[in-house]
Amino acid sequence: MTNQKDKGILLEVKDMVKYFPIRAGVFKRVVAHVKAVDGINFKVFKGETFGLVGESGCGKTTAGMTLMRLYQATGGSVNFKGHGDLLQLKGTALRNMRKDIQMIFQDPYSSLNPRMRVKNIIAEGIKTHNLAKGSEVNDKVADLMTKVGLSVDHMYRFPHEFSGGQRQRIGVARALAVNPDLVVCDEAVSALDVSIQAQVINLLNDIQEEFGLTYIFIAHDLAVVKHISDRIAVMYLGKIVEMTDKYSLFDNPMHPYTKALISAIPIPDPTHDKKRVILEGDVPSPINPPSGCRFHTRCPIAQDICSKEEPLFEEKADGHFVACHFVK
């Protein structure tokens, strides 16, 4: 976690949009869209950890999947260093891109093929991208397994023989196998118990240093995101509402949603002074999001303008971007 701005931009997302069509009727006509990601912009600098947080349904996972090209984007562009616009890549170029961006998934149970041995799971990427040949593959797999804290003796076991934390380590080894520049971690530690979660977070931090990785860390747990990230973007209903470095975000949150979100987190200290902003109601449906500012239906400081005009996502302080009419 160094000063990454001088190292240059690795990834730049511009106006990325992803709508999922809802079809109905005999002819399966498109009747509406789920506006999962509705025009988001951010940059990721080389060597940093960029956190993407929000509650369920805010579009954080869709954003990750879309920039990985696991979903076809509806619009926008994603510039990745050395590859041009990721969203336009095809064929071999797309395949080569996958070597440089890898993903670690949330559920360590469903993201590993139950019929493959650990060795083959980790080696698949190495073989696909011709990164090693013959016995080198085995050496590489063994090396990776040691690095992520798995015993090399377990190379020929199946995923079901491992615990959740160990499986997540296999997922990490699989992502590292192709020497990626960027790793997208989608709720990588959410399914794990507290003590195991700490182990995996520490592992992610260690390998980041060792391999010079850049992370996009997607999670709903603000405390985890704060621990691991350098900069953080907060999403609400398909939009980024606030983005800045982690210290400004927690010491000086500007957007009313960020304030409420931070105050809602229980602090493991009974003497902690709780000044809580309780939000009313639930997150509205992304099929028909509220007009103007999407947060106005739950916002404690909303005025008339908020339901009519969408606030711009502007830089309100140095490197601190906020989308709110009432933040100066």
- Interacting residue ranges for other proteins, rule: CB under 8 A: 55-56, 163, 165-166, 193-199, 201-202, 205, 220-224, 226-228, 250, 260-272, 274, 276, 278-279, 281-283
* CB nearer other proteins, residue 80 or residue 162: 162
Q: How far from 40 is each of 24, 31, 66, 143, 144, CA to CA, in Å?
A: 28, 24, 12, 38, 35
* CB nearer other proteins, residue 76 or residue 253: 253
Give every CB contact of residue 134 below 8 A, 6+ residues apart in sequence.
none
3-state secondary structure of 269: coil
How far separated are the first and last CA of the chain, in Å rounded? 29
* CB nearer other proteins, residue 115 or residue 160: 160
Least separation in angstroms between CB 191 and other proteins: 10
Q: Give bridge partners of residue 49 from the DSSP assignment.
A: 215
**Residue keyed to tokens 């992520």:** 148
Token output for 131:
């990164």
* CB nearer other proteins, residue 68 or residue 225: 225
CA–CA gap between residue 1 and residue 227 (Å, rounded): 11
* CB nearer other proteins, residue 80 or residue 217: 217
Beta strands in the chain (DSSP E): 9-24, 29-45, 49-53, 75-80, 84-85, 101-104, 182-186, 214-219, 231-236, 239-245, 314-317, 320-322
* CB nearer other proteins, residue 6 or residue 269: 269
Bridge pairing between strands 182-186 and 101-104: parallel
CA–CA gap between residue 3 and residue 5 (Å, rounded): 6
